[in-house]
Chain A
Amino acid sequence: MKARIHITLKKGVLDPQGKAIANALSHLGFGGVEEVRQGKYIEIDLTGNDSAQARAKVDAMCAQLLANTVIENYTVELEA
Protein backbone atom coordinates (compact mmCIF):
# COMPACT_ATOMS: atom_id res chain seq x y z
CA MET A 1 0.00 0.00 0.00
CA LYS A 2 1.24 3.47 -0.84
CA ALA A 3 0.60 6.60 1.19
CA ARG A 4 0.87 9.95 -0.56
CA ILE A 5 1.25 12.80 1.88
CA HIS A 6 0.95 16.48 1.06
CA ILE A 7 2.27 18.92 3.64
CA THR A 8 1.33 22.57 3.23
CA LEU A 9 1.70 25.71 5.31
CA LYS A 10 -1.37 26.70 7.28
CA LYS A 11 -3.41 29.68 6.17
CA GLY A 12 -1.99 32.84 7.67
CA VAL A 13 1.57 31.49 7.86
CA LEU A 14 3.79 33.57 5.60
CA ASP A 15 5.44 31.65 2.77
CA PRO A 16 8.44 33.65 1.51
CA GLN A 17 9.49 30.77 -0.75
CA GLY A 18 6.06 30.76 -2.39
CA LYS A 19 6.37 34.52 -2.89
CA ALA A 20 9.80 34.10 -4.51
CA ILE A 21 8.38 31.44 -6.84
CA ALA A 22 5.49 33.77 -7.78
CA ASN A 23 8.03 36.52 -8.56
CA ALA A 24 10.11 34.17 -10.70
CA LEU A 25 7.03 33.08 -12.62
CA SER A 26 6.14 36.68 -13.38
CA HIS A 27 9.75 37.34 -14.50
CA LEU A 28 9.29 34.46 -16.95
CA GLY A 29 6.24 36.21 -18.36
CA PHE A 30 3.54 34.04 -16.79
CA GLY A 31 0.66 36.38 -16.09
CA GLY A 32 -2.36 35.74 -13.93
CA VAL A 33 -0.53 34.14 -11.00
CA GLU A 34 -2.39 35.34 -7.95
CA GLU A 35 -0.51 33.48 -5.23
CA VAL A 36 1.92 30.56 -4.86
CA ARG A 37 2.08 28.38 -1.75
CA GLN A 38 4.73 25.67 -1.69
CA GLY A 39 4.97 22.57 0.43
CA LYS A 40 6.26 19.01 0.61
CA TYR A 41 5.18 15.74 -0.91
CA ILE A 42 6.15 12.44 0.69
CA GLU A 43 5.45 8.88 -0.50
CA ILE A 44 5.60 5.96 1.89
CA ASP A 45 5.31 2.31 0.88
CA LEU A 46 3.63 0.29 3.60
CA THR A 47 3.21 -3.42 4.17
CA GLY A 48 -0.29 -4.83 4.75
CA ASN A 49 -3.68 -4.18 3.14
CA ASP A 50 -5.77 -2.76 5.96
CA SER A 51 -6.43 0.79 4.89
CA ALA A 52 -7.94 1.90 8.22
CA GLN A 53 -4.84 0.69 10.03
CA ALA A 54 -2.58 2.29 7.44
CA ARG A 55 -4.40 5.61 7.73
CA ALA A 56 -4.08 5.62 11.51
CA LYS A 57 -0.39 4.80 11.26
CA VAL A 58 0.38 7.48 8.65
CA ASP A 59 -1.67 9.98 10.60
CA ALA A 60 0.51 9.31 13.66
CA MET A 61 3.65 9.61 11.50
CA CYS A 62 2.51 13.01 10.28
CA ALA A 63 1.62 14.27 13.73
CA GLN A 64 4.85 13.05 15.32
CA LEU A 65 7.42 13.82 12.65
CA LEU A 66 6.47 14.46 9.04
CA ALA A 67 4.54 17.69 9.63
CA ASN A 68 5.00 20.42 12.20
CA THR A 69 1.40 21.06 13.12
CA VAL A 70 2.28 24.46 14.58
CA ILE A 71 2.74 25.75 11.03
CA GLU A 72 1.69 22.96 8.67
CA ASN A 73 -1.37 20.99 7.59
CA TYR A 74 -1.22 17.58 5.96
CA THR A 75 -3.44 15.40 3.84
CA VAL A 76 -3.05 11.67 3.30
CA GLU A 77 -4.16 9.64 0.29
CA LEU A 78 -3.88 5.85 0.32
CA GLU A 79 -3.51 3.73 -2.78
CA ALA A 80 -3.89 -0.06 -2.59
Chain B
Amino acid sequence: MKSCVIVFPGSNCDRDVAVALQASSGSAPQMVWHGETELPKCDLIVLPGGFSHGDYLRSGAMAARAPIMRAVVARANAGTPVLGLCNGFQVMTEAGLLPGALMRNAGLKFICRDVFLKVENSNSLFTRLYTQAQVVRIPISHHDGNYFADAATLDRLESTGRVAFRYCTADGVVNAAANPNGSLNNIAGILNEAGNVLGMMPHPERLIAPELGGTDGRPMFDALASLLQNA
Protein backbone atom coordinates (compact mmCIF):
# COMPACT_ATOMS: atom_id res chain seq x y z
CA MET B 1 0.00 0.00 0.00
CA LYS B 2 1.18 3.46 -0.81
CA SER B 3 -0.37 6.12 1.35
CA CYS B 4 0.07 9.85 1.77
CA VAL B 5 -0.39 11.91 4.92
CA ILE B 6 -0.97 15.61 4.29
CA VAL B 7 0.90 17.80 6.76
CA PHE B 8 -0.42 21.28 7.52
CA PRO B 9 1.23 23.85 9.78
CA GLY B 10 -0.23 22.84 13.15
CA SER B 11 -0.95 19.21 12.33
CA ASN B 12 0.06 17.16 15.37
CA CYS B 13 -1.28 13.64 14.74
CA ASP B 14 0.47 13.22 11.40
CA ARG B 15 3.22 11.08 12.92
CA ASP B 16 0.76 9.04 14.99
CA VAL B 17 -1.21 8.10 11.91
CA ALA B 18 2.03 7.39 10.03
CA VAL B 19 2.94 4.87 12.77
CA ALA B 20 -0.53 3.30 12.52
CA LEU B 21 -0.30 2.99 8.72
CA GLN B 22 3.19 1.53 8.92
CA ALA B 23 2.10 -0.96 11.60
CA SER B 24 -0.81 -2.23 9.52
CA SER B 25 0.56 -2.03 6.01
CA GLY B 26 4.29 -2.53 6.53
CA SER B 27 5.16 0.55 4.56
CA ALA B 28 5.62 4.11 5.73
CA PRO B 29 3.35 6.74 4.22
CA GLN B 30 4.75 9.63 2.26
CA MET B 31 4.35 12.88 4.17
CA VAL B 32 3.15 15.65 1.84
CA TRP B 33 3.45 19.31 2.82
CA HIS B 34 0.33 21.45 2.39
CA GLY B 35 2.10 23.88 0.07
CA GLU B 36 2.65 21.20 -2.58
CA THR B 37 0.34 21.30 -5.58
CA GLU B 38 0.68 17.68 -6.72
CA LEU B 39 0.19 14.38 -4.96
CA PRO B 40 2.33 11.33 -5.63
CA LYS B 41 0.55 8.20 -6.85
CA CYS B 42 -1.10 6.65 -3.82
CA ASP B 43 -3.91 4.33 -2.74
CA LEU B 44 -4.92 6.24 0.37
CA ILE B 45 -4.78 9.85 1.53
CA VAL B 46 -5.01 10.83 5.20
CA LEU B 47 -5.82 14.27 6.56
CA PRO B 48 -4.45 14.05 10.10
CA GLY B 49 -5.54 15.54 13.39
CA GLY B 50 -4.15 18.71 14.90
CA PHE B 51 -4.80 22.41 14.88
CA SER B 52 -3.94 23.47 11.36
CA HIS B 53 -3.25 27.20 11.14
CA GLY B 54 -4.10 27.51 14.83
CA ASP B 55 -7.81 26.98 14.09
CA TYR B 56 -7.88 30.62 12.93
CA LEU B 57 -11.18 31.84 11.46
CA ARG B 58 -12.77 28.37 11.82
CA SER B 59 -11.22 24.97 12.48
CA GLY B 60 -9.95 23.61 9.17
CA ALA B 61 -10.93 26.71 7.18
CA MET B 62 -7.41 27.74 6.17
CA ALA B 63 -6.18 24.20 5.56
CA ALA B 64 -9.16 23.49 3.29
CA ARG B 65 -7.87 26.24 0.97
CA ALA B 66 -4.24 25.06 1.01
CA PRO B 67 -2.66 24.45 -2.40
CA ILE B 68 -2.53 20.64 -1.94
CA MET B 69 -6.27 20.43 -1.26
CA ARG B 70 -7.18 20.88 -4.92
CA ALA B 71 -5.29 17.68 -5.65
CA VAL B 72 -6.83 15.92 -2.64
CA VAL B 73 -10.37 16.86 -3.70
CA ALA B 74 -9.67 15.77 -7.29
CA ARG B 75 -8.35 12.38 -6.11
CA ALA B 76 -11.28 11.92 -3.74
CA ASN B 77 -13.71 12.65 -6.57
CA ALA B 78 -11.85 10.13 -8.72
CA GLY B 79 -12.36 7.43 -6.08
CA THR B 80 -9.14 7.36 -4.02
CA PRO B 81 -9.94 6.57 -0.36
CA VAL B 82 -9.48 9.60 1.88
CA LEU B 83 -9.55 9.40 5.68
CA GLY B 84 -9.94 12.54 7.80
CA LEU B 85 -9.35 12.30 11.53
CA CYS B 86 -10.36 15.07 13.92
CA ASN B 87 -8.95 18.23 12.32
CA GLY B 88 -8.89 16.21 9.09
CA PHE B 89 -12.69 15.82 9.38
CA GLN B 90 -13.02 19.56 9.96
CA VAL B 91 -10.88 20.23 6.88
CA MET B 92 -13.07 17.84 4.85
CA THR B 93 -16.30 19.68 5.72
CA GLU B 94 -14.65 23.03 5.00
CA ALA B 95 -13.39 21.71 1.66
CA GLY B 96 -16.82 20.37 0.70
CA LEU B 97 -15.70 16.72 0.68
CA LEU B 98 -18.29 15.96 3.35
CA PRO B 99 -21.52 17.79 4.19
CA GLY B 100 -22.26 19.71 7.38
CA ALA B 101 -19.97 21.56 9.76
CA LEU B 102 -18.15 20.98 13.04
CA MET B 103 -19.00 23.66 15.55
CA ARG B 104 -17.81 24.57 19.05
CA ASN B 105 -18.56 21.77 21.55
CA ALA B 106 -21.93 22.35 23.19
CA GLY B 107 -20.27 22.47 26.63
CA LEU B 108 -17.73 24.98 25.28
CA LYS B 109 -14.83 22.99 26.76
CA PHE B 110 -11.99 21.18 25.03
CA ILE B 111 -12.58 17.47 25.64
CA CYS B 112 -9.76 14.92 25.74
CA ARG B 113 -10.87 11.47 26.88
CA ASP B 114 -11.91 8.06 25.66
CA VAL B 115 -15.47 7.71 24.40
CA PHE B 116 -17.49 4.77 23.17
CA LEU B 117 -18.56 4.59 19.56
CA LYS B 118 -21.17 2.40 17.92
CA VAL B 119 -20.20 1.19 14.46
CA GLU B 120 -23.24 2.14 12.40
CA ASN B 121 -21.94 1.05 9.02
CA SER B 122 -19.53 -1.87 8.86
CA ASN B 123 -19.71 -2.16 5.09
CA SER B 124 -17.37 0.67 4.24
CA LEU B 125 -13.79 0.07 3.19
CA PHE B 126 -12.71 1.80 6.41
CA THR B 127 -14.96 -0.07 8.84
CA ARG B 128 -15.38 -3.53 7.32
CA LEU B 129 -13.24 -5.25 9.98
CA TYR B 130 -15.61 -4.04 12.67
CA THR B 131 -18.93 -5.81 13.11
CA GLN B 132 -22.23 -4.01 12.68
CA ALA B 133 -23.27 -2.28 15.94
CA GLN B 134 -19.93 -3.16 17.58
CA VAL B 135 -19.00 -0.82 20.44
CA VAL B 136 -15.41 0.42 20.38
CA ARG B 137 -13.48 2.67 22.73
CA ILE B 138 -11.60 5.48 20.96
CA PRO B 139 -10.24 8.78 22.30
CA ILE B 140 -11.53 12.18 21.32
CA SER B 141 -9.48 15.35 21.66
CA HIS B 142 -11.21 18.42 20.30
CA HIS B 143 -12.84 21.78 20.94
CA ASP B 144 -14.93 21.87 17.76
CA GLY B 145 -16.54 18.49 17.26
CA ASN B 146 -20.20 19.39 17.44
CA TYR B 147 -21.56 18.01 14.18
CA PHE B 148 -24.21 20.13 12.52
CA ALA B 149 -26.08 19.72 9.24
CA ASP B 150 -29.42 20.99 8.06
CA ALA B 151 -32.42 18.67 8.37
CA ALA B 152 -32.43 17.62 4.72
CA THR B 153 -28.72 16.73 4.81
CA LEU B 154 -29.15 14.82 8.05
CA ASP B 155 -32.05 12.85 6.57
CA ARG B 156 -29.98 12.00 3.54
CA LEU B 157 -27.05 10.80 5.68
CA GLU B 158 -29.33 8.71 7.89
CA SER B 159 -31.42 7.17 5.13
CA THR B 160 -28.42 6.12 3.04
CA GLY B 161 -26.28 4.56 5.77
CA ARG B 162 -23.66 7.27 5.68
CA VAL B 163 -23.33 7.63 9.44
CA ALA B 164 -20.26 5.50 10.17
CA PHE B 165 -19.94 6.03 13.93
CA ARG B 166 -22.16 7.37 16.71
CA TYR B 167 -21.24 8.30 20.28
CA CYS B 168 -22.80 5.78 22.67
CA THR B 169 -22.57 4.37 26.18
CA ALA B 170 -20.31 1.41 27.02
CA ASP B 171 -23.35 -0.78 26.36
CA GLY B 172 -23.97 0.69 22.95
CA VAL B 173 -26.92 2.90 23.88
CA VAL B 174 -27.03 6.07 21.79
CA ASN B 175 -28.39 8.80 24.06
CA ALA B 176 -27.81 12.40 25.10
CA ALA B 177 -25.70 11.36 28.10
CA ALA B 178 -23.21 9.62 25.79
CA ASN B 179 -22.95 12.64 23.49
CA PRO B 180 -19.76 14.48 24.46
CA ASN B 181 -20.09 17.54 22.26
CA GLY B 182 -23.68 18.13 21.19
CA SER B 183 -23.38 16.51 17.76
CA LEU B 184 -26.72 16.06 16.01
CA ASN B 185 -27.90 12.43 16.22
CA ASN B 186 -24.70 11.66 18.22
CA ILE B 187 -22.79 11.62 14.92
CA ALA B 188 -19.06 10.98 15.34
CA GLY B 189 -18.15 10.10 11.76
CA ILE B 190 -19.71 10.14 8.29
CA LEU B 191 -19.03 8.80 4.80
CA ASN B 192 -19.43 10.57 1.48
CA GLU B 193 -21.98 9.37 -1.03
CA ALA B 194 -19.52 7.17 -2.91
CA GLY B 195 -18.16 5.66 0.32
CA ASN B 196 -14.51 6.47 -0.35
CA VAL B 197 -14.27 9.41 2.05
CA LEU B 198 -14.60 9.01 5.83
CA GLY B 199 -14.34 11.85 8.31
CA MET B 200 -14.50 11.28 12.06
CA MET B 201 -13.72 13.30 15.16
CA PRO B 202 -12.32 10.41 17.30
CA HIS B 203 -8.71 9.27 16.96
CA PRO B 204 -8.42 5.56 16.02
CA GLU B 205 -4.70 6.08 15.34
CA ARG B 206 -4.15 6.63 19.06
CA LEU B 207 -5.28 3.12 20.03
CA ILE B 208 -3.50 0.67 17.77
CA ALA B 209 -1.35 -1.29 20.25
CA PRO B 210 -1.68 -2.60 23.80
CA GLU B 211 1.21 -0.34 24.82
CA LEU B 212 -0.97 2.63 23.90
CA GLY B 213 -3.82 1.45 26.09
CA GLY B 214 -5.88 -0.46 23.56
CA THR B 215 -6.29 -1.75 20.05
CA ASP B 216 -9.82 -0.68 19.11
CA GLY B 217 -8.48 1.65 16.44
CA ARG B 218 -6.35 -0.98 14.76
CA PRO B 219 -9.04 -2.68 12.61
CA MET B 220 -9.51 0.51 10.60
CA PHE B 221 -5.88 0.58 9.51
CA ASP B 222 -5.79 -3.20 8.98
CA ALA B 223 -8.88 -2.91 6.77
CA LEU B 224 -7.30 -0.18 4.67
CA ALA B 225 -3.99 -2.03 4.40
CA SER B 226 -5.43 -5.39 3.33
CA LEU B 227 -7.96 -3.88 0.99
CA LEU B 228 -5.34 -1.84 -0.78
CA GLN B 229 -2.87 -4.71 -0.96
CA ASN B 230 -5.53 -6.75 -2.74
CA ALA B 231 -6.25 -3.95 -5.15
Label chain B's interface by main secondary structure: loop
Asked if B182 lies at the interface with its beta carbon under 8 angstroms from chain A, I say yes
* Residue from B94, B107, B108, B148 whose CB has the most chain A CB atoms within 10 Å: B148
Distance from B111 Cβ to chain A, minimum over Cβ atoms (Å): 13
Q: For residue B99, which residues in chain A have a CB less than 8 angstroms away from its CB?
A: 70
Q: For residue B108, which residues in chain A have a CB less than 8 angstroms away from its CB?
A: 16-17, 20
Interface bin, chain A? 10 to 19
Asked if A13 lies at the interface with its beta carbon under 8 angstroms from chain B, I say yes
Asked if B78 lies at the interface with its beta carbon under 8 angstroms from chain A, I say no
Contact B61 A14 (CB under 8 A): no
Asked if A51 lies at the interface with its beta carbon under 8 angstroms from chain B, I say no
Interface bin, chain B? 20 to 34
Asked if A66 lies at the interface with its beta carbon under 8 angstroms from chain B, I say yes
Distance from A3 Cβ to chain B, minimum over Cβ atoms (Å): 16
Contact A65 B103 (CB under 8 A): no
Distance from B93 Cβ to chain A, minimum over Cβ atoms (Å): 7
Q: For residue A71, which residues in chain B have a CB less than 8 angstroms away from its CB?
A: 101, 103, 148
Q: For residue B106, which residues in chain A have a CB less than 8 angstroms away from its CB?
A: 14, 16
Q: Which residue of B lies closest to A70 (CB)?
A: B101
The digit string for B127-146, where 1 denotes a CB below 8 A from any CB of A, is 00000000000000000001
A65 to B149, CA, bound (A): 19
Asked if A68 lies at the interface with its beta carbon under 8 angstroms from chain B, I say yes
A15 to B131, CA, bound (A): 36
* Shortest Cβ-Cβ A-B pairs, 7 listed: A70-B101, A71-B101, A16-B106, A16-B108, A68-B101, A20-B108, A68-B58
A65 to B53, CA, bound (A): 14
Select one of B57, B93, B101, B104 contacting A16, CB under 8 A: B104
Asked if B65 lies at the interface with its beta carbon under 8 angstroms from chain A, I say yes
A35 to B58, CA, bound (A): 23
Contact B61 A13 (CB under 8 A): no
Contact B94 A68 (CB under 8 A): yes
Contact A65 B182 (CB under 8 A): no
Q: For residue B100, which residues in chain A have a CB less than 8 angstroms away from its CB?
A: 70
Give 27 CB contacts A-B under 8 Å: A14-B103, A14-B106, A14-B148, A16-B104, A16-B107, A16-B108, A16-B146, A16-B182, A17-B104, A17-B108, A20-B108, A64-B65, A65-B57, A65-B61, A65-B65, A66-B57, A68-B58, A68-B61, A68-B101, A70-B93, A70-B99, A70-B100, A70-B101, A70-B148, A70-B149, A71-B101, A71-B103
